[in-house]
Amino acid sequence: MNSQKTHILSYTHNELKDLFQQYGLKRYRAIQVLEWVYSKKIFDFSLMSNISKEDIALLTENFTLELPEIEKKLVSQDGTIKYLFRYSDGATVESVVMDYDYGTSICVSSQSGCKMGCVFCASSKVPFSRNLEGYEITAQILKAASDSNKNISRTVVMGIGEPFDNYDNLVNFLKIINMKEGLNLGGRRITVSTCGIVPKIYEFADLGLQVNLSVSLHEVTDKERTAIMPINKKYNIEQVIKACEYYFEKTNRRVSFEYALISGKNDTDEHAMRLCSLLKNVMCYVNVIPVNPIDKKSAHQNSKNLSGFCAILKENGIPVTVRRELGRDIDAACGQLRRQNDN
């Protein structure tokens, strides 16, 4: 995006008031601009009819509301929409809009590409390009809402990239979408997913946000988890779980552990019992994910032990849900995002 101008989406209401004043604009212009952007989905200063021509000229000269371009848009049979967005420097990401009984949710990306190398995730198949700025993450929501004409009421940072590998921009994004003058998304309507960067889990917990934390676990021993998630070499399962316990202590929010069930790999009754042992004293949920293929060569098989696996967890007092699959026919389901325009 344009680096010569200041992006409006980078600032809270109070920050924008101070900034406008520095540029010779009245402080009340901040709330007017924010209303046009977040409520009316207007991203052209010249269309803001309650702002004087002189101030529009100042805004146009010094600020930008640039959004990414839609490179590609796919619509699933179930109504899920997948966008490939391209920023002005050529960086691309994918975002997914999903309808549920409780409202419309968007899965946004935090990086263009990913460094984590998880073997079951399509995002690891493309090179890391760069971190996204906070405003670039917010822009995904606004662009998708404007294009789809949907009222997006929930956000999951679970697309391409590891959010805690882009920590400062993630926090800026959360602050912006949470403010009442903006998207006004409460913490409980926001979920941040991580593969388990332990120091950042502690740092995030200390912010005291009411954001839902989701941790990709997917295995029950360090040897098995390291084989599919290289991050486990640095932060093992015990360290991850201790950090998640701290998160609950600080926020009173249960952590969700993601577990992609792969036939013959991590879906046996023994795996289920081991998972129960790991989590027996942890205030958490387990979100079981039917595994999704990421390409023809490495397509894993869905587990036939889904009901049995979940039953063991329930019998041992572990709250468990099975993720509803949306957008699989357009490669928009969990683990399938790859920021490519040829999928």
Q: Is the residue at 159 inside a domain?
A: yes
- Looking at the fold, whether 12 and 88 belong to one and the same domain comes out as no
CATH number, position 150 = 3.20.20.70
The burial of 338, by beta-carbon neighbours within 10 Å (0-12 exposed, 13-18 middle, 19 or more buried), is given as buried
Last residue of a domain, one of 21, 48, 64: 64
Q: What is the mean pLDDT of residues 14-29?
A: 97
pLDDT: which is higher, 118 or 58? 58
Look at residue 338 and tell me if it is in a domain: no
pLDDT band at 294 (very low <50, low <70, confident <90, very high): very low
Q: Are 23 and 58 in contact (CB under 8 A)?
A: yes
CATH number (domain holding residue 47): 1.10.150.530
Give the integer Cα–Cα distance in Å for 314 and 212. Answer: 22
Domain assignment present for residue 340? The answer is no
The two tokens of residue 279 are 């989590």
Q: What is the pLDDT of residue 58?
A: 97
**301 lies in the same domain as 157:** yes
Cα gap 179→181, rounded to integer Å:
5
User: Do 41 and 170 fall into the same domain?
Assistant: no
Q: Which residue from 255, 259, 257 is spatially nearest to 218, judged by alpha carbons?
A: 259
Domain ranges, residue 270: 69-330
* pLDDT value at residue 293: 53
Please state the rounded mean pLDDT for residues 133-154. Answer: 97
Tens-digit pLDDT profile for residues 218-258: 999 999 999 999 999 999 999 999 999 999 999 999 999 99
Same domain, 115 and 237: yes
Give pLDDT, residue 291.
Answer: 74
Single residue among 42, 64, 86 that ends a domain in this structure: 64
114 is catalytic: no
Give the bridge partners for 259, in sequence order.
Answer: 288
Q: Name the DSSP class of 319.
A: -
For residues 109 and 147, the answer to whether their CB atoms sit within 8 Å is: no
Local confidence band at 329 (pLDDT 50, 70, 90 cut-offs): low
Query: Span 71-99, mean pLDDT?
Result: 95
Our count of domains for the chain comes to 2
Residue 36 shares a structural domain with residue 93: no
Q: Is 258 assigned a catalytic role?
A: no
Query: pLDDT band at 323, cuts 50/70/90?
Result: confident
d(CA 236, CA 222): 6
Annotated active-site residue in 66, 94, 136, 258: 94
Q: Percentage of residues in the chain with pLDDT exceeding 90?
A: 80
* Selected catalytic residue, list 121, 195, 244, 334: 334
8 A C-beta contact, residue 138 and residue 175: no
- Residue 194 Cα distances to 197, 201, 299, 305, 312, angstroms: 7, 9, 23, 26, 25
24 and 128 co-located in one domain: no
Residue 275 lies in a domain: yes
pLDDT category of residue 296 using cuts at 50, 70 and 90: very low
Residue 1 lies in a domain: no
